[in-house]
Amino acid sequence: MLAKGSYMPENSTDPTTITSFMGKLQYITDHRDNRGKKHRLPFVLAAVTIAIMAGRQKVSGIHRYIKNRLPWLREITGHPQAQLISRAQLPRVLAKVDWDEVNTIVESHFGVRVVCQAPGEWAAIDGKTLRGSAGHQERTLLARTHTQAQILAQRRMRGPKNSEITAVRDLLRETGLARGKTTLDALHLNPATTTQINLAGGIYAIQVKDNQRTLRTQLQQHAAQDPPVGTLSTTETGHGRQETRHGTFFAVADLACDTRWAASGFRTLVVLERQTTELSTQKMTQETSYYLSNQALTPEPQAAQNELFQAIRQHWGVESDNWIRDVTFGEDHVKTKDGNQGQVLACLRTLAMRWLRQANIQNFQAALDDFADSPPLFEAFLKQAHFL
């Protein structure tokens, strides 16, 4: 009999009716050889996820947490006979986990909430390298809303940086994000991606850099010769510096671009001038960036200008998630020889971040510390998040 307050496995032949993440894990495929299989995969994955949310990131730390909390983990997960997995066996088990199945369970638990069709809501898509992986070839592609910082979807990648280009197009198609409002970095300013979004009825804002040198030069000349259709400026002070942003907007629908851009639907060029002053030294830096969008500035030009201006600025909020992954979750310091193991751990970190955001927790590090110090508090959170 399970102890009072412990997790009771959900009895259902239909996984779609199960509400808890722990219950959904019961349906994951175990690809290990049945001979000598001693540890149930649902328990191992649940215990690893819980350890990550208690601030343990390296395999050695995860194993030590499971060892020290084994009676409690058995109780809350409903696996009273679970054996302690060895330090040597844990990475081998993780290496055989089907990443796509884990991600499908995550997405079914949260839902791929494509909310960016709502007025003013945008999604940023960006890739992150798992620097602890052998050869730095493992990458994670993440889609995140600008204002609510909700992680909409993730995909695994392997290969050089430019492998992200086709992965983004697949993500846009699979999730429906191509029909929404999306910001992307300059790597994705190419005719195939912009055409995909434009023909799907979506909106994009993408920086123009020297990877499209001819187009960038043409846009610079246009901005120098043609009158703008509007301007917008903001000044903010914080973190010891003052930052002024000045956006100048140009209509480019009639710009004679190369024919390969014909279906991209260019409508607006935004020239963003940013001036940053360090308050303590009065040292000043300036930079000018160019952004293209297929969003027109009519019939409400001021509202459209402000929306594009804010979307460009908020795109780099995805970098704050990368900072959390690296600093709070120590992702870059987790060394893995097996690429799949690194990807599975990264997927579980994304899962942890989703739960923390869902609970409106602002200080992730403090939450992880609290969970590590207080099992009752942690258990209450896991129940509230429908982990248990």
Q: Is residue 106 part of a domain?
A: no
Q: How far apart are CA 359 and CA 354, in angstroms?
A: 9
Give the confidence band of 119 by pLDDT, cuts at 50, 70, 90: low
User: What dihedral angle (degrees, nearest 10) is formed by the CA atoms of 365, 321, 344, 102?
Assistant: 100
User: Are the C-beta atoms of residues 181 and 249 closer than 8 Å to each other?
Assistant: no
> How many structural domains does the chain have?
2
- Report pLDDT for 7: 46
Q: Is residue 136 part of a domain?
A: yes
Show the domain range for 134: 123-322
Q: Is residue 103 part of a domain?
A: no
Listed in sequence order, the residues at least 6 apart from 35 whose beta carbon sits closer than 8 Å to its beta carbon are: none
271 and 128, same structural domain?
yes
Q: Is residue 209 part of a domain?
A: yes
- Report pLDDT for 218: 96
Q: Is residue 227 part of a domain?
A: yes
Residue type (1 letter), 119? P
- Report pLDDT for 259: 95
Q: Is residue 289 part of a domain?
A: yes
Mean pLDDT of 97-118: 75
pLDDT tens-digit profile of 353-379? Answer: 999 998 999 999 999 999 999 999 999
Give 40's DSSP letter. Answer: -
Characterize the bridge pairing of strands 181-184 and 203-208: parallel
Which residue, among 253, 246, 288, 245, has the nearest Cα to 269 in the 3D structure? 253
* Beta-bridge partner residues of 290: 208, 271
Q: Is residue 185 part of a domain?
A: yes
Residue 116 has pLDDT above 70, yes or no: no
pLDDT tens-digit profile of 14-60? Answer: 556 788 999 999 989 888 887 667 889 999 999 999 999 999 999 99
Mean pLDDT of 157-165: 89
Q: Is residue 163 part of a domain?
A: yes
pLDDT tens-digit profile of 131-148? Answer: 888 767 899 999 999 988
312 and 164, same structural domain?
yes
73 and 48, same structural domain?
yes
369 and 294, same structural domain?
no
- Report pLDDT for 194: 98
Mean pLDDT of 85-101: 94
371 and 242, same structural domain?
no
Listed in sequence order, the residues at least 6 apart from 175 whose beta carbon sits closer than 8 Å to its beta carbon are: 112, 114, 143, 152, 153
Which phi and psi (to 5°) does residue 169 adopt? -65, -40
User: Are the C-beta atoms of residues 351 and 154 closer than 8 Å to each other?
Assistant: no
Residue type (1 letter), 191? P
Lowest-pLDDT choice from 7-11, 90-94, 176-180, 312-316:
7-11
315 and 175, same structural domain?
yes
Q: How far apart are CA 383 and CA 387, in angstroms?
A: 6
